[in-house]
Each structure stands twice: as structure tokens, then as C-alpha cells.
Amino acid sequence: MDNAYSDALAVLLRDHCTPARVRAVESGQGGDALWQVLHESGFADCLLPETAGGAALALTDVAPLLFVIGQHALPLPLGQTMFARAVLHRAGIGIPAGPIALASFDAAQRTHVSCGATAAWFLVQDGGHAALVRGAEADVEETGVHGDLTVSIGRPPVTGFPLAPGALRTMGACVHTAQMAGAMARVFDMTLQYANDREQFGRPVGKFQAIQHQISVMAEQVAAVRMAAQVACASADAWPDPIRVAIGKLNASDAVATVTAIAHAVHGAIGITEEYDLQLLTRRLHAWRLADGSERYWAREIGAAACEAEAGAVDLIRSWSTDAA
């Protein structure tokens, strides 16, 4: 999952989103400076029509960008801002310069918002209406989880502009599916490298069959999630297909527990330390697993869609998967 856009973003994040910078932003320092770099780069506008000479990038072109965001555990809602700006542009709403996080309420009084702690704005949706809310005016509460950038926000009056029900949740799930694919790929690379470098009883731990088995299971899960991200982002325009996003998010969220557990097991004691970079990615993976619906939520959505469809199981699966990968 790469293209010229993702290669450029990877270079940018390599220089400006170092593990030290991620830790600083999580502690409340340097987020504005990092966002200024991203804002000036233009990546937040890649789903707007002005990009690429008057035509917005297709979601399939943006997916590698989201993958790179996940690889670097970016502590800012850049992916969410891409979709938020596209929604606001289509609705004729002025687009603010700061980062925007997506919040879906579905009649609930409060909801959790991934990377909401570093968002200047919230694009919120309840039913068939959406509104842009300034972060300073939102009812925001921390989760209490160490280093967690997810926040809980209270439901404001949502009377801004019409938006198809579930649109923001689908977009957010699409973003987090691709980001989880990127983060898992980075976690796998770190785990494989550590297994080859760390020696015990006179040889690398990666030479032991038990470790090789664990890493092979991990590799299978990482590859499956990469395919799930491709399914979720299989769209010729900026708007993801709800059922494909459901399939992608279900599989990505479901793999988080296995991948993170194996990564920490192979790394041993060092893997859980705050000084080691692995936890920056695994903590983010657990947050993204729940963001915009866990695997249980999307499994119910897929089940409901299957029950409502008139086609047989094979034809239904074929219609959902055609051209997705």
C-alpha cells in the first residue's frame, strides 16, 4: 500500500513525527507545531476537489496515506480531518485550519472520539444531521487511560446541515481500519527485528520454533488486516462503501488483540516499558480497535445487512467483495 503521495508523507512523518515528538504531543506539548507542518504540506486537503488539478483523489489513492499515518502512530487526527474537510466542502461550510475529529452519537448522550485530545474541532453527527463544533466549546472529558488521546464528549445540539445517517461513523471506521493496518505492519517489523537481534542460550530467539510459530501467526494476521484495509478503502471517489468498511473494520479490530499480545510476548519485559517505542503503537491499536465501533458492532451491522438482503449467501459475498482488493 504505497504511492507517490504516501512516499512523500512517509518522509515528512519520518522527520517530524519521531517517537520523541509523539511522546511530547501525548503529554500536551508540540501538537500545534506538528499540525502546522501537516497543514502546510496540504495532505489534509487531499479529498478536496482542488487536489490533482480539480479532481479529488479517490479513496483508493488516499488509503496508503492512512497506512503511513498508522505506521508512525501520528498523535493528530489527520485522516479524520481529510474526511471532515470533504464533508464540509460538499455541504458548503467554511473549513477551519485546525485538526478535526469525527464524532458519531446515534442518540447517545456521550461518545468516545479517537484523537479528540489533539483536535481543535469536532465534526459531530446525530441521526441525519451534522454540525461543526469548536473543541473549546465541547463537553470534553478524558478517559483516564495512560497516554490516551481518545476523549469522551457530550452530545451538543446537532442542527447544522443534513448528512446521511451513519456517514461519519463509516468514514471514521474506514480511517481507523487503514491506520490499524499500518500500525500492525510496523509492530510486525519491530517484532521480527527484535527476534533476530535478541540472543538467548547462544542464538537469536527467532531461531526457536515456538517463537517462529508465534511470528508466523502474527504475519498471517497482519497480511489479513492489510487486505481488510484494501476492502474498506475500495472506492472510486472519496466516500467509502458502508458494507465494505464494516467488513474491513471487523477484521482489523478483531486482529488487534492477537497481534499486540504476540508482539509483547516476543519482546518480553522490554516490550511493556514506557521507554520502548512498541507501546506507542500497541496503545494506539487498542484505541483504534474501539474507535467508531468495535468488531462486535460491525459484526452486527454485517449480520443485519445479510438478513435484509434477498440474495443467497454466495452471491451476497461476491457482491460485497467484487473489485475490492
CA proximity to 5, closest of 48, 56, 47, 65: 65
| Average of per-residue pLDDT values in the chain | 91
Burial of 111 (0-12, 13-18, 19+ CB in 10 A): buried
What pLDDT does 253 receive? 97
What pLDDT does 265 receive? 94
What pLDDT does 80 receive? 98
| Chain position carrying cell 452471491 | 315
What pLDDT does 322 receive? 62
pLDDT tens, position by position, 203-239: 888 788 899 999 999 999 999 999 999 999 998 788 8
| Dist. CA 168–CA 240, nearest whole Å | 10
* Cβ pair 285, 187 in contact under 8 A: yes
| Dist. CA 128–CA 105, nearest whole Å | 11
What pLDDT does 319 receive? 73
Q: Any idea what DSSP says for residue 160? A: S
What pLDDT does 271 receive? 85
| Dist. CA 244–CA 323, nearest whole Å | 11
Query: Over 60: is that where the pLDDT of 38 sits?
Result: yes
AA letter at 295: E
SS3 187: helix
pTM: 0.93
Distances in whole angstroms, Cα of residue 316 to Cα of each of 174, 305, 309, 310: 21, 10, 8, 9
Query: Over 70: is that where the pLDDT of 54 sits?
Result: no
Would you kindly state where each structural domain of the chain is located, as residue ranges?
168-321
| Dist. CA 244–CA 248, nearest whole Å | 6
pLDDT tens, position by position, 161-209: 999 999 999 999 999 999 999 999 999 999 999 999 887 888 888 788 8
Q: How confident is the model at residue 324 (pLDDT cuts 50, 70, 90)?
A: very low
Specify whether domain 168-321 bears CATH 3.40.190.290.
Answer: no
| Dist. CA 8–CA 45, nearest whole Å | 15
* Cβ pair 255, 225 in contact under 8 A: yes
| Dist. CA 83–CA 95, nearest whole Å | 12
